[in-house]
Amino acid sequence: MIINTVTLLGHKDHGKSTLIGSMLMHTGSATKVRINEAKMYSKRLGKAFEPAFILDSFSEEREGGLTIDTTRAQIKYKDSAFELIDVPGHEELIKNMISGASYAKFAILLVSAKKDEGIRPQTKRHLFLAKMLGISNFIIAVNKMDTVKYSEHRFEVIREELLKFLEKIGIEGRHVQFVPISAYTADNLTKNSKNIRWYTGKPLLEIMRAMANHKDSGSSDGNIRIILQGSMPHETDSLLIGNVASGEIKIGSNVKIVPQGINAMVNSLFVKGSRKRSAKEGENVAIKLDKLIKTDTKGSVMYNQDYAKGNSANKFNALIFITKAIKGKVIIKFNGMDIKGTVKIKKLIDTTNGLERGAKGAQQLNAANAEIKLESKIPAEPFSVSKELGRFIIYQGDDFSGIGTITSIIGK
Amino acid sequence: MIKQDLKVLEEKSIFVIREANAKFKNVAALWSMGKDSTTMLSLARKAFLGKVPFPVIHIDNSIDFPETYEFRRDLAKKWNLDLIVADSEIKPDLVGAACCGKNKPETLKKVMAKYGFDALIVSIRRDEHGIRSKERYMSPRDKNFRWDYKNQPAELWDNYSSKLDAKGHIRVHPLLDWNEIDIWNYIKQEHVPTNPLYFSRNGYRYRSLGCTHCTVPLKSDAKNVDQIIKELGDTKEEERSGRSMDKEREYVMQKLRALGYM
């Protein structure tokens, strides 16, 4: 069956791992052995039963009560299946949060309703990042409702503040659903809780089911984009190999390889080892063209010839999120290539309130409008046109320094 | 155990195998003759139109089951594999996890150095063991094969780690997303050759294969792939319950993996 990947988001200690553990238990997705192990670990560490311990963990994670690196757990609920991605909530572990969340179809943001917890900078930052990662549907679960006597007022205060922030960063209210829960006591997980009668919506897992069954309208414009991984020998031929990011390629298709700018025609096609007449989105192909491509094509893109934007660029504007202050030269990772370049920050954006600032100031954990210049040309497009060709990662040496999405192409 | 869409799993694995082969200069794969690494080779054959383009390494401690050696010989010939057999010496004073933690990685270190491999394909799956679910598709190991699990590289948007220490290597995990039942469904669909030890004889079969010293069979009447698929649909047991080293003490897998275990 199709598994829907869902990332958890939110500030540390607002209950992400506990919620996953609780969902594993209450959907019957965890074995007795696992639940008993969790009980044993809880007891040994002198804690009350901790559902988070059902999840796979490093010793440091259970003992320290935090999530260091992302993990995944699968649950089945009625006709749907989910892979829940747990991510760390700590600021210094945001690199791991980004890695985990990047695989999600939709997100569950947790906000603790508990006194002195509530909305934190990291709560908003995670929403900002999730939007950059291309996640467009959100469930906002207001957690620990049992600690505030299931107060409707507390829930409403949190909901209203977040709705304002969502509007500011461009997430429409119709893509967001709020639900009051308690992960620990399982209120509103699979069934409507008797403790929260003022809430008339669906419980969390029913909202997830509805989101899973909701079909994306499809953002692809139908143009052929095949991200190439170079070539391979086959009998006496050389075939180009790659993954179809969009469109459908057929025998006889007229294609252009970018950035090389070479035009060619498809002579034959292989999908998963067999000869085929065509290949579509998501498939890995091997392609024989009517001419031999002699240059390295790792990271190049094969387009349909009549797609005018099938060109290359070395300068573009981007929205970036910075995890380590950027000084001087950077390495941009783009579809498996490492390219040297520079990042010029034009305007910083505070990710905890969405407000713009000048180019000077604290970069770390904030976003920016920036101009990226590369030493060589790449097949780039705005993120709004092609997700796959509009996103990149920023490194300084071996250090992960941020991610970016292309807003417009400047120079060719 | 959730049955996943085999087409989705297959495309992801083929992508990762091709990416590793393109990204690194000298790739090798571990082959234990078990169901997972044999499935991986079957995927590699699809990725490269019938030919596995990299050498496959068997860490041979000479105490594998006779059926395993026969299976190795036959399939290496049939699939025209570039097989490297790395002899591992069993030290009688080491047992269980200490044996796995020492002998196998030490032999692997030698063979990796001898051939200068910079990437190693290992067919682990996330659902097999808690600690394996924390892994990346591509994960750097230093010259001592240590896994820096507290500081793993970012991995997103099909961009994988390029961090290669001198004498270190990258572990490549193309089967990370697969569940145990998916492997069996794929073996059925693709007629992947299977080590006979997985099938029941005299009321017992092996569900996970290690060497003769540390692997115990489970009670089972599953005599073919279909019966195994049915059995897994009903089971409440964990897959590696027949692997004694996992149980010696808590977090043993975390410790073993940090030290270079596969």
The distance of B66 to chain A (nearest Cα, Å) reads: 32
Q: Are A228 and A297 spatial neighbours (Cβ–Cβ below 8 Å)?
A: yes
Residue A91 CA, chain-centre distance (Å), reads 17
B247 interfacial to chain A (CB closer than 8 Å): no
pLDDT of residue A119: 95
Q: Which of B45, B54, B128, B157 to mutate to test the interface with A (most CBs of A within 10 A)?
A: B157
CATH 3.40.50.2000 fits B6-179+249-258, yes or no: no
CB atoms within 10 A of CB B113: 12
Condensed to tens digits (0 to 9), the pLDDT of residues B103-119 reads 778 889 999 999 999 99
pLDDT for position B145 = 86
Which residues in B lie closer than 8 A to residue A243 (C-beta atoms)? 11, 15
Structure tokens at A299: 């990271």
Residues 6+ apart with CB under 8 A from A411: A313, A314, A315, A316
Mutation target to probe the A interface, by most A beta carbons within 10 A, among B136, B158, B178, B254 is B158
CA distances from A391 to A102, A128, A332, A402, B119 (A): 12, 15, 10, 11, 26
State the CATH architecture for A3-213. 3-Layer(aba) Sandwich (3.40)
The answer to whether A304 and A250 have CB atoms below 8 angstroms apart is: no
Q: What are the chain B neighbours of A72 within 8 Å (beta carbons)?
A: 126, 133
Angle at the Cα of B29 from the Cα atoms of B24 and B33, rounded to 5 degrees: 170
Is residue A364 scored above 80 in pLDDT? yes
Tell me whether strands A3-10 and A80-86 are parallel, antiparallel or unpaired.
Answer: parallel
Lowest mean pLDDT among A115-129, A157-171, B142-156, B247-261: B247-261
Q: If pLDDT is split at 50, 70 and 90, which confidence band does B91 have?
A: low
| CATH top class, domain A313-411 | mainly beta
User: Nearest-CA residue of chain A relative to B254?
Assistant: A58
Which residues of A fall within a CB distance of 8 Å from B254? 58-59
Over chain B, what HEC string results?
A: CCCCCHHHHHHHHHHHHHHHHHHCCCEEEECCCCHHHHHHHHHHHHHCCCCCCCCEEEEECCCCCHHHHHHHHHHHHHCCCCEEEEECCCCCCCCHHHHHHHHHHHHHHHHHHHHCCCEEECCCCCCCCHHHHHCCCEEEECCCCCCCCCCCCCCECCECCCCCCCCCEEEECCCCCCCHHHHHHHHHHHCCCCCHHHCCECCEECCCCCCCCCECCEECCCCCHHHHHHHHHHCCCCHHHHEHHHHCCCCHHHHHHHCCCC
Equal fold, A3-213 vs A225-304: no
Contact A248, A277 (CB under 8 A): no
**DSSP readout, A219-241?**
---S--EEEEEEEEEETTEEEEE
User: Cα dihedral angle (B236, B240, B245, B246), rounded to 10 degrees?
Assistant: -60
Q: How far apart are CA A386 and CA A288, in angstroms?
A: 25
CB contact under 8 A, A336 and B158: yes
The lowest-confidence range among A4-13, A248-257, B247-256 is B247-256
Q: Which DSSP letter does residue A15 get?
A: S
Record the tokens describing residue A329, joined without a space.
Answer: 């030269």
* Res. A92 pLDDT band, cuts 50 70 90: confident
Class of domain A225-304: mainly beta
Instruction: State pLDDT tens for residues B230-241.
Output: 988 877 666 666
Residues 195-234 of A with CB under 8 A from B: 227, 229-230, 232, 234
- pLDDT of residue A186 exceeding 90, the answer is yes
Whether omega for the bond prior to residue B174 falls within 30 degrees of 0, making it cis, is no
Among candidate residues B139, B141, B146, B148, the one with its CA nearest the CA of residue B168: B141
- C-beta separation of B60 from B34 below 8 A: no
Q: Say what the pLDDT of residue B60 is.
A: 86
Q: Which candidate from A71, A230, A284 shows the least CB-CB separation from B15?
A: A284
Please answer whether residues A373 and A341 qualify as being in contact, where contact means their C-beta atoms are separated by less than 8 angstroms: yes
Q: Which residues in chain B have Cβ-Cβ distances shorter than 8 Å to A298? A: 22-23
Which residue of A3, A280, A300 is the best one to mutate when testing the B interface, meaning the one whose CB has the most B CBs within 10 A? Answer: A3
Q: Which of B18, B73, B158 is nearest to A230 (CA)?
A: B18
Local confidence band at B213 (pLDDT 50, 70, 90 cut-offs): low
For residue range A304-320, what is the model confidence (pLDDT) as tens digits? 998 866 678 999 999 99
pLDDT, residue B64, reads: 72
Is A48 an interface residue toward B (CB < 8 Å)? no
pLDDT tier at B210, thresholds 50, 70, 90: low
B-contacting residues in A 289-318 (Cβ below 8 Å): 298
Amino acid found at B1: M
Residues 154-193 of B with CB under 8 A from A: 154-160, 162-163, 179
Please tell me the distance from the alpha carbon of residue A259 to that of residue A313, in angstroms, as a whole number.
8
Distances (CA, A) of B89 to A56, A81, A156, B61, B120: 33, 45, 67, 6, 21
Residues of B whose CB is below 8 A from A227: 158
- pLDDT of A32 reads 84
Nearest chain A residue (CA) to B149: A69
ipTM > 0.90, yes or no: yes
SS3 A2: coil
What residues in A contact B126, CB-CB < 8 Å? Answer: 72
Distance from CA of B62 to the nearest CA of A (A): 33
Which of A87, A103, A333, A335 should we substitute to test contact with B (largest number of B Cβ atoms within 10 Å)? A333
- In the stretch 154-183 of chain A, residues with CB closer than 8 A to chain B read none
Average pLDDT, chain A: 92
Spatial separation of the C-alpha atoms in residues A326 and A206, rounded to whole Å: 43
Matching residue, tokens 């068997």: B58
List all residues of chain A from 86 to 145 with a beta carbon under 8 Å from chain B: 95-96, 98-99, 102-103, 133
Write out the H or E segment, with its range, that includes residue A157.
helix A152-168
**B149 chain-A contacts, CB cut-off 8 A:** 58, 68-69
Pairing mode, if any, of strands A262-271 and A356-357?
unpaired
Q: Is the Cβ of B144 closer than 8 Å to some Cβ of chain A?
A: no
Q: What would the DSSP string read from start to end of A273-327?
A: TEEESEEETT-EEEEEESS---S--EEEEEEETT-TT---EEEEEEEEEESS---
Instruction: Say yes or no to pLDDT of B13 above 90.
Output: yes
Under an 8 A CB cutoff, do B14 and A391 touch? no
**Residue B212's pLDDT band (cuts 50, 70, 90):** low
Query: Hey, are the CB atoms on A229 and B131 less than 8 Å from each other?
Result: no
In chain B, positions 44-63, which contact chain A (CB-CB < 8 Å)?
45-50, 53
pLDDT (tens digit per residue) in A37-82: 889 889 988 888 989 888 877 888 877 878 888 888 999 999 999 9
CATH 3.40.50.620 boundaries in chain B? 6-179+249-258
Residue pair B178/B156 in contact by the 8 Å Cβ criterion = no
Using alpha carbons, select from A369, A286, A175, A279 the residue that is nearest to residue B53: A286
Determine, for residues B134 and A338 on separate chains, whether the beta-carbon distance falls below 8 Å.
no
Give B-chain residues touching A282 at CB under 8 angstroms.
8, 11
Give A121-155 pLDDT, tens digit per residue: 999 999 999 999 999 999 999 999 999 999 999 99
| Residue B129 with chain A: CB contacts under 8 Å | 56
pLDDT (tens digit, 9 = 90+) per residue, B116-133? 999 999 999 988 877 778
* Sequence ranges of the domains in chain A: 3-213, 225-304, 313-411
